[in-house]
Amino acid sequence: MLLFIACTPKVTETVTTPEVVTPEPKEIVDKNPCTTLNDLSARDRDEVETAYVLYKDQIKLGNYDKAFPLWKVAYYGAPAANGSIKYQFEDGLAIYKNKYENESNPAVKSAYVDTVMMIYDKRIECYGQPAYVAGRKAFDYYYYYNGESTDDEIYSLFKEAIDAKKKTTDYFVINPFTKILTDKIIAKEISKEEGRLYTGYMMDAIEYGMASGKNKEAWNIINNYAPARLENLEGVEGLYDCAYFEKKYLSILRDNPEDCEIINTAYGRLLWGGCDPASASVQEAKTAKDEKCYTPPPPPGKLRLAYNAYESGQYYEAVKQFEDYVNTTDDVQKKAKYTLLISKIYYGDIKDFPKSRKYALQSAELNPSSGEPYLIIGKLYASSGPLCGPGTGWDSQVVTWVAIDMWEKALKDPLVSDEARKLINTYKQYMPTKGDVFQRTLKAGDSYQVKCWINRTTTIRTAG
């Protein structure tokens, strides 16, 4: 899976700048550790209060340069303002972000980022909330100040926020942290134990956030991205434990008690997840499999070994055994069939998309009249929206072009043409709009390179 997440999907569209809710000014009860307006002399207070009003007016007009000197008087004169409001920190962050974006000197840009982080530190000093601020720092480094911090530093800041908040982790943390986390798990840069801990935190946070009823739009965007990234980690052996697979696949099995594909998948996944074959969950799946989905096993030999390995959730061993069979048989049709089966295992079970495509293409070479390999490759591409983008928006939509390219090839095979046509009609609506294309100074009919693990050239089309 490292290979198919080796691209660098942009997730800048997953969440907007975190909304900061500033409480109305109220009577100050506790002494703020930072200087407030009440700490100033009458003369200084008047000057600083006036600066607060004037700089805020300029901020509202988008005049950051005019706001800056006034903001400095206000912020440095009384950083805690009346001891309650916090918008002066957010405004300072916006001012320096604007300076950063309009500066070309790398040293000056880095100095601006240092100031941004000092403003965050001052906010902690005045108002606390170090976990929230750690998440904000990581968010800013990830989206706004690329290259000013390492992935490891950003990861550590996100972890600081998550360790403190767990299931109540702030929504703006979820997508970027999920991207970094999945990359690190696949690259084996962190232990499986650590990966299991933080994938669990992310799942709990998504469930909690979706149920909270707050920030609905943001959580819906998150729900279109992070769960798919986390689900693709099922192909990392030993990452998710038996409890994870029981919770997910027993529920699916019980909702679809007659569907043999689901029953067989559930049985294999439970064993892949390390569940005891004698456990109640495995026995429930096995009973359903034996009673409703029995198929006579192949005769003793390489194929029998391959199927036995697959049905017992030993996916890598199954691939090895099927490859052994393919390499020893002279029957071209069987070579094509079992090469395609290897592709399906890499797609559905191991979730290594590049390898799945590799074997699908090999099967297509062995049996040029079959459209099924192209059907699978199209599904691989269509499933890559959350891998190559934020789950919504341009980077996630362009994968539909290459997916439809593959399904159009599959139309030539009458055995799968109906399914291919249905997929084409379904996914056409998810293509970028004319406006999306126009905004990027492109036009329908132009060639376009879809990057990420796909790395294929296609033709621009629009929805509608």
Give the pLDDT confidence of 214-226 residue by residue, as tens digits: 999 999 999 989 9
Contact 451, 417 (CB under 8 A): no
Q: Helices 280-292 and 260-272 sit at what angle, rounded to 10 degrees?
A: 150
Average pLDDT, integer, range 310-331: 94
Q: pTM score, two decimals?
A: 0.83
381 vs 321, 375, 452, CA distance in Å? 27, 10, 10
Task: Report DSSP letters for 138-168, one per residue.
Answer: HHHHHHTSTTSS-HHHHHHHHHHHHHHHGGG
Interatomic CA distance for residues 102 and 404, integer angstroms: 41
Going 82 to 83 to 87 to 93, the CA torsion angle's sign is positive
Residues 262-290 pLDDT 10s: 999 999 999 999 999 999 999 999 999 99
**Count of positions (residues) in the chain:** 464
Distance of alpha carbon 57 from alpha carbon 395, whole angstroms: 37
Q: What is the pLDDT of residue 17?
A: 53
Which tokens hold the place of 122?
A: 């001052």
- Note whether 71 and 91 are within 8 A (CB): yes
Angstrom distance (rounded) from CA 63 to CA 360: 56
Q: Is the pLDDT of residue 210 over 90?
A: yes
Mean pLDDT of 209-235: 93
The encoded tokens of residue 133 equal: 């601020």
- In the structure, what pLDDT confidence band is assigned to residue 295 with cuts at 50, 70 and 90? confident
| Closest C-alpha to 113, from 146, 153, 71 | 146
In eight-state DSSP terms, residue 234 is G
pLDDT in tens, 380-409: 999 998 888 777 788 889 999 999 999 999
Does residue 18 contact residue 170 with C-beta atoms inside 8 Å?
A: yes
pLDDT band at 3 (very low <50, low <70, confident <90, very high): very low
Give pLDDT, residue 59. 94
Q: Does the pLDDT at position 188 exceed 70?
A: yes
- Choice among 20-24, 257-261, 341-345 with the minimum mean pLDDT: 20-24
**For residue 149, is pLDDT > 90?**
yes
Name residue, tokens 């912020």.
Answer: 75
Which is more confident, 146 or 23?
A: 146
The least confident of 5-14, 220-229, 250-259, 272-281 is 5-14
Range 219-235 average pLDDT: 93
